[in-house]
Amino acid sequence: PLAATGTLVARATARRGAVAAFNVITLEHVEAVVAGAEAADAPVILQISENAVRYRYGRLLPLARAAAAAAEGARVDVALHLDHVQSDDLLRQAVDAGFGSVMYDAARLSYDENLAATRAAADWGHANGLWVEAELGEVGGKAGRDGRVRPPLDAHAPGARTDPGEARAFVADSGVDALAVAIGSSHAMTTRTASLDHDLLKRLADGLDVPLVLHGSSGVPDDELTAAVRGGIGKVNIGTALNVAMTAAIREFLAAHPDAVDSRKYLTVGREAMARTVRELIAVVRGG
């Protein structure tokens, strides 16, 4: 059934675990995430990013309604989250489209501008029943609104990491329900080679009373993910790993079946590969 992001994250962190949040782009992604979560018998978050909305001809509703229908019919709890929202217009569509939570992303701005924009988004979100996540510091490697990807691994550049003192002030002054932190992961990595700053994570977790969110988790190896969850990460965002699994499976299928025409044949292997990845990653991050 459809569940609330805040509830799932609170339940997971109460037993020192995390909820996996998967980015979905197509209906096959949606179905694979639900199938993988059902196979793991665990709750999951389906998230649609502003980038994915742009891919869907700028329309949120078709994929959002499909995700809501999949959540309602699931045998496990499934929450709907709108991810990396920069546009106020998109933010305002969240409630009617069925989302219970949003990540408002103003991390590209200066501290003061990020705070002002995030506080306004959190105020509006709370008045409309949303659980609001924001980002301080910057997890790099993500395409901006112009479609250009920021340089990968600028998570390691000085200043990109989340400062614990700033984080305390940012959470208190913005009123957000969760904070995405830059601790060494980077978006869109196709190899799992990121190493996280666990000391920084500990300082952040010790100083904050909201759940912390890890972005760019596709590039983080299993043992690092496990350690991050033990260290206070309550929501683990995973996108690229699904596309890596889907594309490899389809590529292999088409190479073995060069005459294949029916798209269901290769979308099925792609969907099954994503569902396996979902199941495996949930097992890594669910904890306790």
- Residues serving a catalytic function are 83
At 171, is the secondary structure helix, strand, or coil? helix
Q: Which CB atom, from 70 or from 180, has the smaller least distance to Zn ion?
A: 180
Distance (Å, whole) CA 67 – CA 30: 6
- The pair of structure tokens assigned to 221 is 């190896």
Find the shortest distance in angstroms from Cβ 141 to Zn ion: 9
Q: Which CB atom, from 200 or from 214, has the smaller least distance to ligand G3H?
A: 214
* Mode of pairing for the β-strands spanning 19-23 and 131-136: unpaired
Q: Which residues contact ligand G3H by CB under 6 A?
A: 23, 83-84, 187-189, 215-219, 237-241
Find the shortest distance in angstroms from Cβ 33 to ligand G3H: 13
Q: Which CB atom, from 23 or from 277, has the smaller least distance to Zn ion?
A: 23
235 binding Zn ion? (CB under 5 A) = no
Task: Give the DSSP H/E element, type plus range, for residue 282.
Answer: helix 263-285
Contact partner, 140, from ligand G3H, Zn ion, none, Cβ < 5-8 Å per class:
none
Distance (Å, whole) CA 98 – CA 122: 17
Find the shortest distance in angstroms from Cβ 187 to Zn ion: 6
215 binding Zn ion? (CB under 5 A) = yes
At 101, is the secondary structure helix, strand, or coil? strand
Find the shortest distance in angstroms from Cβ 47 to ligand G3H: 7
Alpha-carbon distances, residue 189 vs 8, 184, 210, 236, 242 (angstroms): 27, 12, 27, 15, 12
Q: Which among 107-115, 234-242, 246-254, 260-268 is the span making contact with Zn ion, rule CB under 5 A?
A: 234-242
Find the shortest distance in angstroms from Cβ 288 to ligand G3H: 23
In the chain, beta strands by DSSP E: 2-3, 19-23, 44-49, 78-85, 101-104, 131-136, 178-181, 212-214, 233-238
Residues 6+ apart with CB under 8 A from 176: 118, 122, 132, 133, 134, 170, 210
Contact partner, 218, from ligand G3H, Zn ion, none, Cβ < 5-8 Å per class:
ligand G3H
Give the footprint of Zn ion on residues 146-185 (CB under 5 A).
none
Q: Which CB atom, from 192 or from 230, has the smaller least distance to ligand G3H?
A: 192
Q: Which CB atom, from 114 or from 237, has the smaller least distance to Zn ion?
A: 237
Using CB under 5 A as the criterion, which residues of the chain lie in contact with Zn ion when the complex forms? 215, 237
